[in-house]
Chains A and B, each alone.
Chain A
């Protein structure tokens, strides 16, 4: 698989380490009420779709950036890739 890195262009997937579901970006607030149950879900439960999946890939043997890669888990087709930092900033309402 080739991953279209937004800064570096097409890179071999072997340069990356896979983490999983991109929802891991949305880390819950550990001090909020009911944080224990929310964290159990956050750490252990996963969306596991057959089809389009947003996931985190770490460019470990490259520029060490985290990417959010949108990929089809049935065909292995990669639809898009963006910097995880941009996705996280957008989630917090920051400029990105």
Chain B
């Protein structure tokens, strides 16, 4: 089923009776060449690129619930590539370029909206750090503009420029950053993968790995044993408990991060605004709700819900930078579970078990990475070699001393 303007008009004139489900709902086959565990953004994108770019057959995605029920459905939908370090910036810029062509490529409306991401700065030292970051972005082929206070005022006059503790002196703007309809990404990749013959198997929980002589043979699931030549694990915040079944300890803790949305308002915020000093970030959804978030709750959690002190903290951060937000009523808050890795950067690598591959440790930033993560993981699964932009994301980088510590806080995941 191809989506087009012509199709929309035709369906409108014939009572919308021709629309079909976006993907099949197949039963698992006895074995596959590739099994991807995790039917979220990264897992679906991996299956899509594996089927499309690398021309492989017999691929399955196993999801314990329904497709896109995890972090791709529980985030604040921001895309950007404003990183600093050489191991990170080219990867996130690669992701940004994939975002830019994504809707045309998979013929699905993901509502990609490049309305700009603005990081505020409040001191001369922070301005210099942002100037350096902007230069690193330009060197990697991304875009960056350093605004002074007047520049920020022209974009967002409603901010609190004279805050006693964090007066706004300017901001680093990436105009190509923005937001994407997160569910649309999952559905688009799922549909694209299904059209290329990938079996998307829902309600199929992996309960164990069958490993013999250091080699993976397949996975035990709630729907029986399924054989596989290669297994890729992309399960976001559940990495710890899934890899425990393969006997692996990882440089990862699972933490809860909350997000919030207000009632629908008329357009008030031009793009994404981040207030790093107080850790608060906000954008406005296409329905009008202000979508915002802040810090982790700060301790290991698998609860998919947060606690009140962090809600209070985020609300305070919001009020400090944008006092008018106090007039909006908060509709909902929710929590997603994420892998906080020991240097704040992801892991895309093979494991010591032959045929078992890992895509994990996305910390706060998994959503914006979805296309590049899927592409790089598919590359690794198909060719047994890392993609050029993901060479730094090795599992053994901690032991080798080659960590990618974007925030410079060391092995303290609750500080990243």
Where the two chains meet, the residues of A that have a C-beta atom closer than 8 Å to any C-beta of B are 1, 13-14, 18, 20-21, 37, 40-41, 43-50, 53, 55, 71, 73-76
Please report which residues of chain B, range 366-416, place their CB below 8 angstroms from some CB of chain A when the two chains form the complex: 398-399, 411, 413-414
Q: Once the chains are docked, how many angstroms separate the CA of A96 from the CA of B142?
A: 59
B300 near A48 with CB under 8 A, answer yes
Q: Once the chains are docked, how many angstroms separate the CA of A47 from the CA of B303?
A: 17
Closest to B298 in A: A18
- Contact of B3 with A by CB under 8 A: no
Please report which residues of chain B, range 275-320, place their CB below 8 angstroms from some CB of chain A when the two chains form the complex: 298-303, 307, 309
- Quote the shortest CB–CB distance from A78 to chain B (angstroms): 11
B399 near A37 with CB under 8 A, answer yes
- Contact of B97 with A by CB under 8 A: no
Where the two chains meet, the residues of B that have a C-beta atom closer than 8 Å to any C-beta of A are 238-241, 244, 249-254, 298-303, 307, 309, 342, 398-399, 411, 413-414
| Minimum-distance CB pairs A-B, first 3 | A48-B240, A40-B399, A44-B398
A49 near B399 with CB under 8 A, answer no
Which residues on the B side are within 8 Å of A50 (C-beta)? 238, 240-241, 254, 302
A73 near B399 with CB under 8 A, answer no
A49 near B411 with CB under 8 A, answer no
- Chain B facing A: main interface SS: mixed
A46 near B399 with CB under 8 A, answer no
Q: Which of B244, B249, B300 interacts with A20 by CB under 8 Å?
A: B300
Closest to A75 in B: B303
Q: Once the chains are docked, how many angstroms separate the CA of A75 from the CA of B244?
A: 20
Q: Which of B252, B299, B303 interacts with A18 by CB under 8 Å?
A: B299
Q: Which of B239, B254, B307, B414 interacts with A73 by CB under 8 Å?
A: B254
B411 near A74 with CB under 8 A, answer no
Additional A-B contact list (19), CB under 8 Å, known A50-B240, A55-B299, A76-B301: A13-B299, A13-B307, A14-B309, A18-B414, A20-B414, A43-B398, A45-B249, A45-B250, A48-B241, A48-B244, A48-B249, A48-B300, A49-B240, A49-B241, A50-B302, A53-B300, A71-B299, A73-B300, A73-B303
- Quote the shortest CB–CB distance from A7 to chain B (angstroms): 21
- Quote the shortest CB–CB distance from B404 to chain A (angstroms): 13
- Quote the shortest CB–CB distance from A3 to chain B (angstroms): 11
Q: Once the chains are docked, how many angstroms separate the CA of A46 from the CA of B255?
A: 13
B253 near A20 with CB under 8 A, answer yes
Which residues on the A side are within 8 Å of B250 (C-beta)? 45-46, 48
Which residues on the A side are within 8 Å of B399 (C-beta)? 37, 40, 44
- Quote the shortest CB–CB distance from A28 to chain B (angstroms): 14
Which residues on the B side are within 8 Å of A14 (C-beta)? 309
Closest to B251 in A: A44
Q: Which of B298, B300, B309, B342 has the most CB of A within 10 A?
A: B300
The 28 sampled A-B contact pairs (Cβ below 8 Å) are A13-B299, A13-B307, A13-B309, A14-B309, A18-B299, A18-B414, A20-B300, A20-B413, A21-B253, A41-B249, A43-B411, A44-B342, A44-B411, A46-B249, A46-B250, A48-B249, A48-B253, A48-B254, A49-B241, A49-B244, A50-B302, A53-B300, A55-B299, A55-B300, A73-B254, A74-B302, A76-B303, A76-B307
